[in-house]
């Protein structure tokens, strides 16, 4: 047999084919295959990244459910000074409300103490047809546990609208159609009962346009619940720190109206009641807003009654970090001055749009009070204004608000103004200057801070601190 007919190796044949030129730019076959493989990998990675980003955006949108989709979410939380907070959260899994099938209410709402109200009809005694006869208690009525279970659909998780230090707040619809906020107090070593007694006694008969009304309660067995009017436009913290776009809907005039009416509500608690009531947890998340931006002060769970003739009440320090006055945090001595300090911090928050404590900022700007004082001392008060406010206020109005802030946070509690005096100072507007400074306006259209602060000081009849003196010499 002849050796001329050699058998070709298959490997050599494959290499020959891969090395052969193609019609695509005369590229060899293995180059074309490599390019196709690389393109397929790139397409696959692009699709994978797109799916991942889409999932993240959906999670971000679905993170919190609100009663109104127009209410902005809050990007950050403020830590509370509550030693038993973790214990309260851990105890939620064991809470069962008259129904063995109810699961533990998992709450993913970052705002605490939300009790919203809106078009609720606050009536002294809303009626419902139930087997248990309702007991009227003068200012409201007693609700059975069965009534509130029906109103909240078995305390369903989807009806959760807020979570406070002592309990969870549910949106409920009573049998007469009125919308309410039901606060289920957590029974944590008897503290819920204490809060229940304080709230019922302090708020039950209180009626003021700037205070959230308590319309009833439930006390069956170990369960303690409070029924409030319902407000459906979120709270001030959401509108100050949530995503509202490049321009805040809270204009300067709206912000000052919120501050003034909040001060009126607190002034009523301090000066219009006997015994007087100290709120003890004044903060932006406890200022609820209706559709017309009318504020209502909520969450009186930390309120303490001051008996007639008592100047101070010594108590365990509770409140929200950043708002608590220095003397209250260090000594536990509580009186109206503690609320005044907290209101001063709240007013700073309204003006600047910044949280009282913001760990995302630099060390010099982390604490709102310290940064605020430093800016005023450096004569940079105009830079304190929230950049989301489109139309800036008149210089006089801004300086007056800054002065009120400094008066409220005076380290000397005796030099802080009363809430009633704060209302007068914020409402003063141009009135104190119209008659006395008419001639001065012709020479200087913008009055000096010294004139302004002197008039406000005369209205409040209180002294100022060192930073106020610096304002006067600006």
Residue range 203-242, pLDDT digits in tens: 677 889 999 988 888 878 778 888 999 998 989 999 999 9
- The CATH superfamily holding the domain 80-229 is Phosphorylase Kinase; domain 1 (3.30.200.20)
Place of tokens 């903060």: 283
Q: 3-class SS at 126?
A: coil
Paired with 227 in beta bridges are 182, 216
- Choice among 122-131, 312-321, 456-465 with the minimum mean pLDDT: 122-131
Question: Can you give the pLDDT at residue 221?
Answer: 76
Q: Is the pLDDT at 53 greater than 50, yes or no?
A: yes
Least confident of 174-188, 363-377, 434-448: 434-448
pLDDT at site 411: 94
d(CA 328, CA 320): 12
Q: Which position among 11, 176, 243, 281 bears the catalytic label?
A: 281
Answer yes or no: 281 catalytic. Answer: yes
* Percentage of the chain modeled with pLDDT above 70: 62
Q: Which of 200-209, 229-238, 240-249, 289-298 has the lowest mean pLDDT?
A: 200-209
pLDDT in the model for residue 447 = 42
Q: For residue 267, what are the contacts with CB-CB under 8 A and spacing of at least 6?
A: 418, 419, 420, 422, 423
Q: Distance between CA atoms of 164 and 284, rounded to whole angstroms?
A: 14
Q: What pLDDT is attached to residue 377?
A: 94
Q: Quick one: pLDDT at residue 400?
A: 95
CATH architecture of 236-472: Orthogonal Bundle (1.10)
Which sign, positive or negative, has the C-alpha torsion 306, 309, 312, 314? negative
d(CA 235, CA 115): 9
For 66-118, how does the pLDDT look when each residue is reduced to its tens digit (9 = 90+)?
434 467 766 444 444 444 444 444 444 333 333 334 333 333 333 333 443 33
Q: What are the DSSP calls for 361-406, one per residue?
A: S-GGGSBHHHHHHHHHHTT-GGGGS-TT-SSPPPHHHHHHHHHHHH
- Residues 300-318 have pLDDT tens digits of 645 543 444 566 666 656 6
The average confidence (pLDDT) of the chain is 74
Per-domain boundaries in the chain: 80-229, 236-472
275, 284 Cβ separation under 8 angstroms: no
Per DSSP, 124 falls in state: T
CA–CA separation, 170 vs 62, rounded Å? Answer: 19
Length of the chain, in residues:
474
236-472 and 80-229 share a CATH fold: no
* Burial call 347-383: b when 16+ CB within 10 Å, e when fewer: bbbbbbbbbbbbeeeeeeeebbbebbbebbeeeebee
Report residue 439's pLDDT band, with 50, 70 and 90 as the boundaries: very low
Residue 92: count of CB within 10 angstroms of its CB:
15
Q: Which helix (DSSP H) or strand (DSSP E) does residue 80 occupy?
A: strand 80-81
C-alpha 358/C-alpha 371 separation (Å) is 11
Res. 17 pLDDT band, cuts 50 70 90: confident
Q: What angle do CA 242, 243, 248 make, to 5 degrees?
A: 90
Q: What is the pLDDT of residue 90?
A: 41
What's residue 165's pLDDT?
A: 64
Higher pLDDT, 278 or 205: 278
């Amino acid at each position: 047999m002849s050796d001329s007919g050699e058998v070709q190796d298959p490997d050599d044949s494959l290499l020959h084919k891969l090395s052969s030129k193609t019609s695509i730019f005369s590229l060899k076959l293995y180059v074309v295959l490599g390019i196709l493989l690389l393109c397929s990998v790139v397409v696959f990675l692009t699709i994978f990244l797109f799916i991942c980003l889409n999932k993240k955006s959906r999670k971000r949108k679905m993170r919190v459910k609100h009663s109104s989709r127009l209410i902005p979410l809050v990007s950050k939380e403020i830590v509370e000074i509550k030693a038993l907070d973790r214990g309260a959260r851990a105890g939620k899994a064991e809470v069962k409300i008259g129904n063995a099938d109810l699961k533990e209410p998992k709450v993913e709402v970052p705002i605490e103490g939300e009790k919203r109200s809106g078009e609720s009809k606050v009536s002294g005694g809303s009626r419902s047809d139930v087997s248990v006869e309702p007991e009227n208690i003068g200012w409201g009525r007693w609700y059975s546990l069965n009534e509130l279970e029906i109103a909240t659909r078995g305390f369903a998780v989807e009806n959760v609208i807020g979570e406070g230090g002592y309990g969870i707040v549910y949106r409920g619809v009573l049998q007469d159609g009125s919308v309410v906020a039901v606060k289920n107090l957590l029974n944590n070593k008897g503290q819920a009962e204490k809060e229940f007694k304080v709230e019922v006694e302090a708020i039950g008969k209180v009626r003021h346009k700037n205070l959230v009304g308590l319309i009833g309660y439930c006390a069956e067995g170990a369960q303690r619940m409070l029924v409030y009017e319902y407000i459906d436009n979120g709270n001030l913290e959401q509108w100050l720190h949530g995503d509202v776009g490049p321009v805040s809907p809270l204009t300067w005039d709206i912000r000052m109206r919120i501050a003034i009416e909040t001060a009126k509500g607190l002034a009523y608690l301090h000066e219009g009641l006997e015994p007087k009531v100290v709120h003890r947890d004044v903060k932006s998340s406890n200022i609820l807003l209706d559709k017309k931006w009318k504020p209502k002060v909520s969450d009186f769970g930390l309120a303490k009654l001051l008996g007639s003739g008592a100047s101070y009440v010594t108590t365990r320090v509770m409140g929200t970090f950043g708002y608590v006055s220095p003397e209250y945090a260090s000594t536990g001595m509580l009186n109206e001055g503690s609320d005044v300090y907290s209101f001063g911090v709240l007013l700073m928050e309204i003006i600047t749009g910044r949280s009282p404590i913001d760990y995302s900022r630099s060390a010099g700007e982390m604490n709102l009070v310290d940064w605020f004082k430093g800016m005023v001392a450096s004569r940079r008060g105009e830079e304190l204004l929230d950049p989301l406010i489109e139309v800036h206020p008149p210089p006089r109005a801004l300086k007056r608000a800054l002065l009120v802030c400094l008066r409220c946070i005076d380290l000397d509690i005796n030099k802080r103004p009363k809430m009633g005096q704060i209302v007068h100072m914020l409402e003063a507007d141009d009135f104190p200057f119209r008659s006395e400074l008419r001639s001065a306006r012709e020479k200087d259209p913008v009055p000096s801070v010294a004139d302004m602060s002197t008039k406000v000081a005369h209205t409040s009849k209180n002294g100022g601190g060192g930073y106020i003196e610096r304002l006067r010499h600006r």
